[in-house]
Amino acid sequence: MIKENELEILQNYFSITDNIATLKLVYDTFAELINPNFGDGHIEKLNDKLLSDIREAVELLPHKFKLDLHIIIKDFGDYTQEECERIIKQNVYLTAYRTVKVNTGKLTGGCCLIGVGAVMLALSYLLHAHELWFDIINISGTLFVWEGVNLAFLERSRENRAARHLARSIHNITIEKSNTDDN
């Protein structure tokens, strides 16, 4: 059970019903979420602002909570609501693609480091008659293996766990135009 003072603090930012926390993210324009320097204009890429806000919201919540996001845009500008939803969905796919690509690279790099370390360790035992070279190559090989294991398995595991937590935590995302006119 969540502690009362934690719940009280969270209720300052979220509307909480059962295990669903609702958060409203309000932006003046949809254009402020777009990275104008990326792509050819056919598919818009979001800058890190929205994804950073979503990650921060997920990190604040206890693990048992689901996040209901209401993204409120005061002015869609040249975009329709449907286009905004499509752009956000495409960017979620792009983020997933990037995560898979980075994780594959880390696995490959880690396995290469482990291989180099194993070769160095085998070489160190061939040079066991030269104590200084044996120690240097043995320590270097051990470091390569350790760094490879860290990169390929430990670091990837933490990132995968964080990505799965983010994916499991989001219950619903809605985009709507602000009802209030500040003009």
Tokens, residue 92: 């979620």
- pLDDT(154) > 90: no
Q: Report the alpha-carbon distance of residue 99 to residue 159 in Å, rounded.
A: 9
More confident residue, 159 or 23: 23
What residue numbers bound the domain in which 113 lies? 4-177
For 13-42, letters b (16+ CB in 10 Å) and e give: ebebeeeebbbebebeebeebbeeeeeeee
More confident residue, 43 or 177: 177
More confident residue, 182 or 18: 18
More confident residue, 38 or 71: 71
Q: Are 159 and 99 in contact (CB under 8 A)?
A: yes
Q: Kind and range of the H or E element at 119?
A: helix 81-126
* 183 is a domain residue: no
Mean pLDDT is lowest, of 19-28, 40-49, 131-140, 144-153, for 40-49
pLDDT of residue 145: 94
pLDDT digits (tens, 9 = 90+) for 81-118: 888 888 887 887 777 777 778 888 888 999 999 999 99
**pTM summary value:** 0.64
* 63 is a domain residue: yes
Closest to 144 in 3D by CA, of 106, 111, 102? 111
* 182 is a domain residue: no
Q: Which of 82-86, 90-94, 159-163, 177-181 has maximum average pLDDT? A: 82-86
Of all residues in the chain, the percent with pLDDT exceeding 70 is 88
| Number of folded domains that form the chain | 1
- pLDDT(183) > 70: no
Determine the average pLDDT of the residues in 49-60. Answer: 82
Determine the average pLDDT of the residues in 34-54. Answer: 78
Confidence band, pLDDT 50/70/90 cuts, at residue 60: confident
